[in-house]
Structure 1
Amino acid sequence: MYRFMKLLSAFICMLPHGMQYALGTLLGEIAWLAVPPKRKRLAIGQILFCKITDDPTEAKRIAKSSTTRFGRMIIDVLRYPEIKDGDYLDMIEFINREYLDDALADGKGAIVAAMHSGNWELLGGVLASEGYPLISVAMKQKGDADKFINEYRRLMHQHVTYKTGVREMVRELKNGAFLGLIMDQDPGDDGVLVPFFGYETLTAVGPAVLGRMQDVPIIFVTMHYSPYSGKHELVVHPPIYAEKTDDKKRDVAVTTTLLSEFMEDYIRRYPEDWFWLHNRWKWTRCYYGDKIETPPDVYH
């Protein structure tokens, strides 16, 4: 797998840009065909569940679009050897970067919060390549996939730590690092119950806990591809500061609720950008019954 991905990357980098993304479109269509029907039904059902639309056909379109975009994402990552020395700037419109600059000048570090929305891999690579002291917290992949993606992250000057490295996270924050945390997926029992699209569900507490502990800003950074400009809009949003009273549990819940509200608002704006194939409301269905239902003919 590692050698295949390296060869594919070398081949992609030799192609004209138009052919690169045409191939990405093809890969995206193949990815949608490869998704099992049960997983397609889950994605479509979650879109209806969240009332993004009440039309099953439109829900299917959103689910498909959110999956096929992975073809373009893969092409962007495979192009890292081609764009690593600053050529990525032609692909990016960087908006409100002053919020990151202010945190950098302050020297206390920051939590950079992100979602599985847009091209989150390219987002991290651009921030690191632009000189921000970003440490991306990631899940370890299996075998050669982990070796390949981390080698390509290093091409874009990213440092990666795994989710088990909590001591390293705290230490690096104290040294002024920007800690990149993706917080939109089900964290299991490590999360806290907060509302998300109208239903309580388990949500990651890492940004709230670390932001409160170190008194650093939590800054959401998002990336959305605009077909009108042909560029990724990398937007830095105003910082959020964690609540800090004598009640730590309450503070974490209040702050996580604010972050959850931000994510919900953003996903409503760009539903095609989000990863609907993930079983996000697993806890909700386990405790409240299976409310995520889809007409059986929608996903075929």
Structure 2
Amino acid sequence: MYRFMKLFSALICALPEKVQYAIGTFLGELCWIFLPPKRRRLAIGQILFCNITSDPKEARRIAKKSTTRFGRMIIDVLRYPEIKDGRYKDMFEWVDRKYLDDAMEDGKGAVLMAIHSGNWELLGGILASEGYPLISVAMKQNGDSDKLINEYRQIMHQHVTYKTGVREMIKELMNGSMIGLIMDQDPGDKGQLVPFFGYETLTAVGPAVMGRMKDVPIIPVTIRFDEFKGKHILTAYTPFYAEHTEDKRRDTAVTLTKLNEWIEDYIRRYPEDWFWLHNRWKWTRRYYAGKIEVPPDPMAK
């Protein structure tokens, strides 16, 4: 698989851009066609559960768009050998990067809060290539997949640590680095229960805990593809600061609730960009009580 993907990447890099993304569109459609029905129903059910829409057919459209966009995401990453060292600059525009610049100038470090929306892999690559001292925190993949993605991250100057490297994260934060954390998926029993779309669900505590520990800004950063401009839009937002009293658990809950509210608002504005295939509420009490219904696919034959 590693050799195949490397050859495929070389082929993609040799093709004209229009052909590259035509292949991406085709791959995206295949992703939807071969998506297991159970996973498709889960995505549609979660969209309805979150009241993004009350129309099952519209929920299906959002779920399909959320899935087919992976075709373009794959092409973006496979193009890394072609777009490295400045050629990526034609692919995106900045909005309010001043928040990142201010944090870098301050030199105390920062937590960059990202979500699985848009091409989050490209987001990390661009931030690192633009000179921000980014430490990307990732989950280790299996075998050749981990080798390939980390090799391509290095092409875009990313330094990656795994989620188990907490000491490294703290050390790098103290040295003024920006720790990139994605916090919108279910973290298992290591999370803390706070509301998300109106229901308590386990939420990753990393941004809140690290922000509180070192009193550094938590800066939301997003990427989304603007089809009219034909470019990715990278946006940095007004920083959050963690609550800091003598009650650490309470502080974490308050901060996480604010961050989840921000994420929820962003997803409501751009629902097609989010990763609905992930079973976000799998550990909540309400899920096991049957509160999240997974309806039949409205377009299934």
> Same fold by TM-score, threshold 0.5 exceeded?
yes
Structure-2 separation of matches of 1:174 and 1:90: 33
The residue number in structure 1 matching 2:41 is: 41
Matched position secondary structure for 1:216 = coil
The residue number in structure 2 matching 1:75 is: 75
**2:247 is the counterpart of 1:236:** no
The residue number in structure 1 matching 2:29 is: 29
Contact map agreement 2:60 2:297 (CA 8 A) in 1: no
The residue number in structure 2 matching 1:227 is: 227
Unaligned runs of 5+ in 1: none
1:104-132 CA distances to partner (integer Å, 9 max, x unpaired)? 01101000010000000000000000000
Contact map agreement 1:111 1:180 (CA 8 A) in 2: yes
Matched position secondary structure for 1:136 = strand
Aligned CA RMSD, in angstroms, stands at 1.0
Paired positions, count: 300
Contact map agreement 2:41 2:297 (CA 8 A) in 1: no
The residue number in structure 2 matching 1:153 is: 153
What are the within-5 Å matches in structure 2 for residues 239-258 of structure 1? Answer: 239-258=239-258
Output the amino acid matched with 1:49.
F
The residue number in structure 2 matching 1:116 is: 116
What are the within-5 Å matches in structure 2 for residues 145-294 of structure 1? Answer: 145-284=145-284, 289-294=289-294
Structure-1 separation of matches of 2:133 and 2:294: 44
Distance change in 2, residues 1:208/1:297 (3 Å): closer
1:92-151 CA distances to partner (integer Å, 9 max, x unpaired)? 011111100000011010000100000000000000000000000000000001000000
Q: Aligned-pair distance for 1:297?
A: 4.3
Structure-2 separation of matches of 1:30 and 1:284: 32
Q: Aligned-pair distance for 1:87?
A: 1.0
Unaligned runs of 5+ in 2: none
The residue number in structure 2 matching 1:61 is: 61
Contact map agreement 1:37 1:299 (CA 8 A) in 2: no
Matched position secondary structure for 2:283 = helix
Matched position secondary structure for 1:232 = strand
Contact map agreement 2:193 2:201 (CA 8 A) in 1: yes
Contact map agreement 2:99 2:238 (CA 8 A) in 1: yes
Matched position secondary structure for 2:228 = coil
The residue number in structure 2 matching 1:97 is: 97
Normalised by the length of structure 2, the TM-score is 0.98
Distance change in 2, residues 1:110/1:297 (3 Å): closer
Identity of paired residues, percent? 74
Q: Aligned-pair distance for 1:295?
A: 3.7
Distance change in 2, residues 1:9/1:297 (3 Å): closer
Output the amino acid matched with 1:44.
I
Normalised by the length of structure 1, the TM-score is 0.98
Matched position secondary structure for 1:149 = helix
Structure-2 separation of matches of 1:14 and 1:249: 53
